[in-house]
């Protein structure tokens, strides 16, 4: 079983990395892009015998306690069977 966790800066937090990429894209004539936000992506491989609700609870706890800085970041996740 795999879990995919996506961590992004909160909407209200400035994202200088994303702005730098956006600036580069504009200079390279990619004019179709209005905004870029950069985040982190984690792929967790879970032990097979875990049931789905256990997996969900454990991934949520890991994402909240370890992978995300709750002051400036938020996360979403997806479990893949």
In the bound state with its own copies, the residue whose beta carbon lies nearer, of 65 and 71, is 65
Q: How far is the CB of 71 from its own copies (least distance, A)?
A: 19
Point out which residues bind its own copies (CB under 8 A).
Answer: 6-8, 18, 21, 24-25, 28, 30-47, 50, 54-55, 58, 61-62, 65-67
Q: How far is the CB of 81 from its own copies (least distance, A)?
A: 15
The answer to whether 39 and 21 have CB atoms below 8 angstroms apart is no
Q: How far is the CB of 11 from its own copies (least distance, A)?
A: 11
In the bound state with its own copies, the residue whose beta carbon lies nearer, of 6 and 71, is 6
The answer to whether 10 and 72 have CB atoms below 8 angstroms apart is yes
Pairing of strands 73-80, 2-9: antiparallel
**Cα separations in angstroms, 75 against 10, 13, 18, 28, 72:** 9, 14, 17, 31, 11
């Amino acid at each position: 079983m795999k879990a995919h966790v996506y961590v992004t800066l909160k909407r209200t937090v400035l994202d200088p990395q994303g702005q730098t990429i956006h600036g580069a894209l504009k200079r390279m004539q990619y004019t179709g892009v209005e905004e870029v936000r950069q985040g982190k992506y984690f792929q967790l491989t879970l032990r097979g015998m875990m049931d789905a609700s256990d997996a969900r609870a454990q991934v949520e706890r890991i994402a909240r306690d370890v992978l995300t800085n709750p002051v400036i970041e938020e996360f979403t996740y997806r479990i893949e069977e």
